[in-house]
Structure 1
């Protein structure tokens, strides 16, 4: 979630002006809002999220307190592998997150049957990874997804249209889960070297080697 502040500033002589801030992380917005209220020169502040929903400072404090015990600051790497001869796919994801003031790295993969292309495997891997986030209890926050698939990045960012029906099927499934748990996703393209851990997990899944581990960093 990101918030922006709509505020009225008043000088000691009573001159007023209205300002609208850029979008800020919740913690920064709370810190600035509390500081401005203490100054006595900002008689009115509204907090608006990216959906134009208004938040009170009490609601924001409650949200920040809950966030301490929930997974947050999520960065996720995903990759899909495909065996053309068998139609099998290997799905891999690496999820970095923080919870209870500790940092974690989760690694998980999955084998999948009856796929028809590498692009479909990439999409299936993304859906698999988003599902893992849902299991972790990640909700109502901004996340970053890194993949070496330009197709996934550009189509999920609405830069490219989705024509293939099998890819549209997966894109719609991803959007449904993202919307259900209230995520705002930034898709980032990286080269294969930067995505080698997720790539290895996908390759291991194709060999029927199952990985499911979480470690504290």
Structure 2
């Protein structure tokens, strides 16, 4: 989680000036806050997280300790594959996140037998990825979703309409899950070449190769 600091600075012989920072890590935010409070000429120091919640210094100190071991800085890649001959879909997801000061990667896939098209497989793959991060206990953090399916990501951003009932039902499920988790999503369309790992996992699922691996990234 990243934070933005805002405070009012008292200039001698003048009115107070509103000051704010760029987004910084929790550790840096705490250090800056402690140093600012020592100066004695600032007031109304607040910390804002990426969800929009505000904190005072004492509250932020407690919060950072509490969430230190929770997953954060999460990036999710997803992709879906489909075989017309068998109506079988393969779902692939790659999840990067930090826990404490360590960084992890989860590679996972799953096969699905009740879909009708490659487009539907893309929606199912994103929903599958959401289930993975739910199992990690993720709540109320920003999360970036990256995929090469422009349609689903633009629809989730509200920029494109969806006219197919089947896909609209998937959109409803995805949006309900995001709301239930309380996460702040960011949707990023990437070239197919940058989504090779999730694509490979989806293909392996179609081949009957089930994978779920959590790896510490050094």
Shift of 1:193: 1.6
Match of 1:155 in 2: 155
Distance change >3 Å, CA 185–CA 34, structure 1 → 2: same
Which consecutive segments of 4 or more residues in structure 1 shift more than 6 A?
none
- C-alpha separation in 2, matches of 1:18 and 1:4: 13
Shift of 1:117: 1.5
Deviations for 1:84-133, whole angstroms, at most 9, x for unmatched residues? 22221110001111213222111110111121121110010001001100
Distance change >3 Å, CA 148–CA 181, structure 1 → 2: same
Distance change >3 Å, CA 67–CA 197, structure 1 → 2: same
Root mean square deviation, CA, Å: 2.1
Is this contact kept in 1: 2:81–2:203, CA < 8 A? yes
Shift of 1:41: 1.8
- C-alpha separation in 2, matches of 1:46 and 1:60: 9
Shift of 1:28: 4.5
Contiguous gaps of at least 5 residues in structure 2: none
- C-alpha separation in 1, matches of 2:130 and 2:30: 28
Contiguous gaps of at least 5 residues in structure 1: none
Is this contact kept in 2: 1:72–1:99, CA < 8 A? yes
Match of 1:180 in 2: 180
Distance change >3 Å, CA 32–CA 172, structure 1 → 2: farther
TM superposition score normalised by structure 1: 0.89
TM superposition score normalised by structure 2: 0.89
Aligned length: 217
Alignment of 1:84 onto 2:84: yes
